[in-house]
Amino acid sequence: MRYFVLITGASSGIGEAACKKLTEHGYEVLACVRNEMDAARLSMTIGDRLHPLIMDVTNHQSMVRAKENAEKIIGHDKLVALVNNAGIVVAGPVLYIPVEEWQKQFDVNLLGVVRTIQLFFQLLAKKVPDTHARRIINVSSISGLFASPFIGPYAASKYALEALSDSLRRELYMYDIQVVIIEPGSISTPIWQKAKEADSYSGPEYESIIAFREKIIESNIRQSLPVELVSDRILKSIRDRKVRNRYLIKADAWKFNIIRMLPSAWVDRIIRKKLMNKSGFRPF
């Protein structure tokens, strides 16, 4: 029997690394991408165990077509995991980001997850005589645990994803399907280059801070961890018999956990000082 894993946002970064890792360990991967060019590139570089699906998590019709294709590819074999990885970052001050951009942020990062789970769940829940674990893996972020300034939409979407994951996990007890949340910190992926190129929203009171945007992005790039740390965790979260509900992937995680335990007024003062010194947005 072949074991299939569906991954959204597979064209680059964490998604692409997970595709490579899983195929190397014997899994068949349904790699969801938005265009034929990415589909062809992934097929060429990863090999026969990768099966591209053209799918946009914000477009219902493309998702229905992708599901129909997935059913044909899987056949009598088994879908053992959904990896919800597709995501975008909308950044800037809350006061100035257009509501349409907030809608776009949630449409991809939250509602895209809901659409994927609802549409593909019946394939994951399908009973077959097999003992492989079945998992829903939601790729969240450290921003789902700590809301830094100037990424309000992104942090809000990831906080919402954390809540969605908790509710879903508690609802699926009768299916024996576990929901795992992976919370990466700064990871070496193309998302940072995209952050440089993305539209930037601001107002006059923030100009002196936003001017240091590229400096902060470069600092994040220097401090970022290898993407393989996340793909390794995705593999283990699919394959291992026992898994935790959450996995934080961050250098000096102990420091981050201490910051989270401090009174919010203390943390606000630390951030305010860092912003006044134009040295960063996070106190860790």
Token pair, residue 244, equals: 């935790």
Collect all residues with Cβ–Cβ distance below 8 Å to 35 and sequence separation of at least 6.
54
Torsion angles phi and psi, residue 124, rounded to 5:
-70, -35
Q: How far apart are CA 180 and CA 230, in angstroms?
A: 13
Per-residue DSSP letters for 70-100?
Answer: HHHHHTTSEEEEEEE-------B-TTTS-HH
Collect all residues with Cβ–Cβ distance below 8 Å to 224 and sequence separation of at least 6.
186, 187, 188, 189, 192
Give the number of other CB atoms < 10 A from CB of residue 235. Answer: 17
8-state DSSP, 34: S
154 included as an active-site residue = yes
Give the number of other CB atoms < 10 A from CB of residue 165. Answer: 22
* Annotated catalytic residue, options 3, 27, 96, 154: 154
Radius of gyration of the CA atoms of the chain, in A: 19
Buried b (16+ CB within 10 A) or exposed e, 25-51: eebbbbbbbbeeebbebbeeebeebbb
Catalytic residues: 154
